[in-house]
Structures are given as C-alpha cells and as structure tokens.
Chain A
Amino acid sequence: MLDILVIRGIIAVFLISIVSATVGSFSVFRGSTFFVSGIAHGALAGAALGIFLTLALFPIDPLLMAMIFSVFFALAIGYATSRREDVDVAVGVMFAFSMSLAVLFLSMLREYASIAWGLLIGDLLLLSQEDLTILVVSVITIVLIFLIFYRKIMYSIFDPESAEASGLHVMWYDTLMFILIAVGVVALLKCVGAILVYALLIVPAAASRRMFPSVSGTIVGAFVITLISGLGGIYLSYYLAVAPSSLAGLIAAAIYAVSLFRRR
C-alpha cells in the first residue's frame, strides 16, 4: 500500500502540472521566464522572514509571508517595467534584493535555518495536509482566473499595443499575470523548492512549445511533461534515495533536450 506521504506527493504532482500548464506556458509565451526565477527567490526571503517572526515575535505562516513577498516583488517589477525599465534589469535588481534579504533573515535564524533552507530545495514526499490544501486553493484560484481572462491575457501578450488600442487595459492583465506567477511560485515552493521551481514551472512549458507548437498544444503538453517528470521523480527517488524534485527537474530537462532536436 502506498504511504500517505507518497499519495500526497502524487496529488501534488498532478496539481503542479496544472500550474505548469497555465502559469508556466504563459510565462514562456510572455518571455518572462527569468521573472519566475526572481519571484522564487523573493518567496524564499518572505518564508525566511516568516520563520524568523514566528520564532522571535508572533506565529505567522511562512508560506503566507512568501506569498506577500512574491506579490510585492511581482508588483514592484511590474511598476519598474511600466516606468520603462528593462524587465531583465528590474528582475535582476529584485533578485539581488530578495536574496540579500533571504540571507539576512537566514543568518538571524541560526540553528533553525535548516527549516528555511528546506524551502530552497523542497521535498515532494514531505508535504503536510496543510501544504496540500494551500496547493489546491492556489490551483483553483489560478485556473478560475485563467478561465475568465484567458483570451484577454493572450491578446495582451501577443500584441500589447493593439490590445490596448482595442480597449483592453494591458497593464492590468500584465499585473494579473505577474500575480498569477507569484501565486504559482509559492504554491510550488514547499514541493520543489525555490531553486527547482524553475525546473517544473518553465522547462516543461518550454519543451512543450517546441514539441506542440500551438497555444492549446503547449498547455496540454506542459501538463503531460510535468506529470511525467514529477511522477518519474517520485518513482526513481524510491530506488535512488535522493530528493524527487531534483530527479523531476532532470527528467524535465532531458525532455527539453530531446525537444531541441525537433524541427520547428
């Protein structure tokens, strides 16, 4: 019989695949993949502060702090780009700022730093019922928003000028996209860690876009590739006794490498 932790891990992989198919695919379409990495490190800083506050002052959920930090960094990057800053520079500055904060908070945690470092690498097989609940709520939020605003987000990404000229508020949909990325990143943080968020959020979507070059094809393909990578990671970790998220990241990267051989 499967252990409850393995069952939670499998459910988490299914939910992560939905995040990858939606947030991941649209991040690739938008060309905001570096943004995902920047937000993941912002989330880490938030989680580290949450742990520090819990130990020193009052109890607060580290993932809630991660969410607040991620959304704040996402909006700050959005604001900087709306002020004509290059998106790579804006993300790079936020990346440096958030990592500085993360290291500062982690150094204040001392012997408890291992808790926060756990968020850096995550573990699919150590999820609590609460972690899974947060993931379910995040996924439902993301899916609902995509169902409502799918075409508007698509138009805003494909041709922002014409979308704005047709009456869409492109900045709102840009901001919405940034917030969705932040929610997606935090949802994945406990499962795969800040470092490997990129591996399961972006790599499957990037491979899928090459293999199934249509919007719907990319979305479905990203879901399947993430599912294969995540389940493969859990299965192999059983025999190799290593973190499943690292194996999932390797499988996703291998699939991307194969996709490079496909003629576009």
Chain B
Amino acid sequence: MSIEVYNLTVRYDNKIALENVNVKVEHPSLVVIMGPNGAGKTTFLKSLLGLIPYEGEIKIFGKDPKKARSLIGYLPQRDSINTNMPLKVKEVVLLPLVSKSFTIKKEHVEKAKKYLEFVGMLDRWNDRFDSLSGGQQQRVLFARALVTEPKVLILDEPFSATDVKTKMELVELLHRLKGEKTIFIVLHDINPLVECTDMVMLIQKTLLSFGTVSEVLTPENLEKLYGTKVPMIRRDNVCYIVGGDRHA
C-alpha cells in the first residue's frame, strides 16, 4: 500500500518543469511539499492526478494515476474555481458524487452533510458558495475533496489567503485525518504542520531532498532550495523556519 514515483519528468513546451523525481510514500502518511514559486510543486501534484502528460512511472496503490482517480480527493488552488457560477454550498460538495449520475440519492446528501459537518460548515448548506469568505470557501472545498471518501488527499496550497483562525482550523482537520489517509500538501509555511508531518519533499525543478522533518529541514537544504539563508530555530528536536517560507 504505497504511492511510488519513478524517474518522473514533466515538460511544458519542451521546457523541463520537473526532472527525475523518485519517491516512495507508505500509506498512510502526511507529506509536505515545499519549494519556491515555479519550482514544480503543483506540476508534481498534477502528475499524481494524471492531469498532465509525464515521462516516468507513477503508481498509486499499484494503479496508474488515471485509473486511481476514485482513490484521490483533490483540493485545487482556490483561484482555479469559477465563481461566475452561482452554486450553493450543498451543490459544490455534491458535485463529485452526482456528476456521473442522473439523480441525487439520499446517500449522496448524507455524505455531503457528514463532511460539511466535519469541516464545520453544515450550517451554510443552503448558502451561496460565492457569498462565503475565502477561508469558509476553502473549508467547503476541503469537504468536497473528502466527500468521495478517498484514500489519498492532494491539497494545493490550502492555507493560501486564509486568516490565522482558518489556518488553525484546517490544521486541526489535517491532524484528525492523519493516520487514516495519505495526504500530499503543498505549503509555503510548514510550521503549523511540523509536528504531524511524516515526510517532507523539497522541490526545485527536481527533488532536492526527501525524508523526515528533521532529516530534510536543515539550513543547508533550505539555502539550496530558496537560494538564500533561511533562519531556523530548534525546539524539542524539531526545526522551525523563522517567518515561514522564503520565496526565491
């Protein structure tokens, strides 16, 4: 039961976006992916989802990404959502369940309510999605990623443009899911999740480093990653980056 990536290379218009990535992640794990802007973090996630052509091999519980889609829940970056469409919260969460069927079944509604309750948004069931704050929208999209009850969660910058309260609520949800699912999460600031992170991937067009938090989060690795010195502090044998992410 694992997610395996061998010699993954992705090119956009013949330019290399990601080169020769090899990782093996045991299920369940929480994997944080870090790197500067344009480093290939989202490209890596999209490869796992089978959204883009790639060279190399990806196996998700033994299956190719396109055949493993029922095993994966995805939370995209929020700016990829089209808010021109005035969907209600319930419709957003039901979409993955009902998009392939003609009717909305009772079990679909029950699942949608269960996961909206999990993220603390059930009371907004009938509200319009675009009337919610950014953090509330993120929680609804999180419920949508969970509603198909996937084994693997892929979260692309879930903390971006969220306030501290929302961030801590999402961290709490991730703590509750840890040990149950394999979670790949792109973050600019790992600090809130340091204590529950199993593995860290540092990506800068290729895999610079992969391992546990204490193995990977070293001043040398972070300087190589961001091209500048990154101040860190150590507490209880855990390293924290001072001031969060350093963009190159």
Contacts and interface: CB of A to CB of B under 8 A. Distances in A.
A45 B99 CA distance: 37
A31 interface: yes
Interface residues of B, number: 29
Contacts of A217: 86
Interface stretch (A163-171, A189-197, A244-252, A253-261): A163-171
A166 B85 contact: no
Contacts of A72: none
Nearest to B52: A164
Interface in B52-108: 66, 69-70, 72, 74, 76, 80-82, 84-88, 91-92, 95-96, 98-101
Nearest to B46: A161
Given A30-B82, A158-B82, A159-B76, A151 B87 contact: no
A152 B85 contact: no
Contact of B85 (A158, A164, A165): A158
A166 B128 contact: no
Given A158-B81, A163-B99, A214-B128, A209 B74 contact: no
B69 A159 contact: no
B30 interface: no
A165 B74 contact: yes
Given A163-B99, A167-B69, A30 B84 contact: yes
B103 to A, nearest CB: 10
Contacts of A166: 69, 74, 96, 99, 148
Contact of A152 (B70, B84, B99): B99
B86 A159 contact: no
A155 interface: yes
Contacts of B100: 151-152, 167-168
B80 A160 contact: yes
B82 A159 contact: yes
Contact of A155 (B51, B70, B72, B95): B95
B86 A158 contact: no
Given A165-B74, A166-B96, A168-B99, A154 B86 contact: no
B45 to A, nearest CB: 10
Given A161-B80, A165-B51, A215 B99 contact: no
A100 interface: no
B49 interface: yes
Contacts of B72: 165
A215 B70 contact: no
Interface string A154-191: 11011111111111100000000000000000000000
A214 B74 contact: no
Counting chain A CB atoms within 10 Å of each CB, the highest count among B91, B99, B100, B148 belongs to B99
B76 A155 contact: no
A222 B91 CA distance: 20
A28 interface: yes
Nearest to A168: B99
A218 interface: yes
B80 A159 contact: yes
A151 B99 contact: yes
A151 B148 CA distance: 16
A182 to B, nearest CB: 21
A157 B91 CA distance: 13
A213 interface: yes
Contacts of B80: 159-161
A37 to B, nearest CB: 17
Given A151-B99, A162-B74, A215 B84 contact: no
A34 interface: no
Given A165-B69, A215-B86, A158 B51 contact: no
Contacts of A218: 86
Contacts of B91: 215
A146 interface: no
B82 A162 contact: no
Contacts of A155: 95-96, 99
Interface string A203-220: 000000100011101100
Given A163-B99, A165-B49, A157 B82 contact: yes
A161 B74 CA distance: 9
Given A31-B82, A152-B99, A165-B49, A158 B87 contact: yes
A213 B128 contact: yes
Interface of B: 49-51, 66, 69-70, 72, 74, 76, 80-82, 84-88, 91-92, 95-96, 98-101, 128, 144, 148, 154
7 contacts: A29-B84, A152-B99, A157-B85, A163-B95, A214-B86, A214-B88, A215-B91
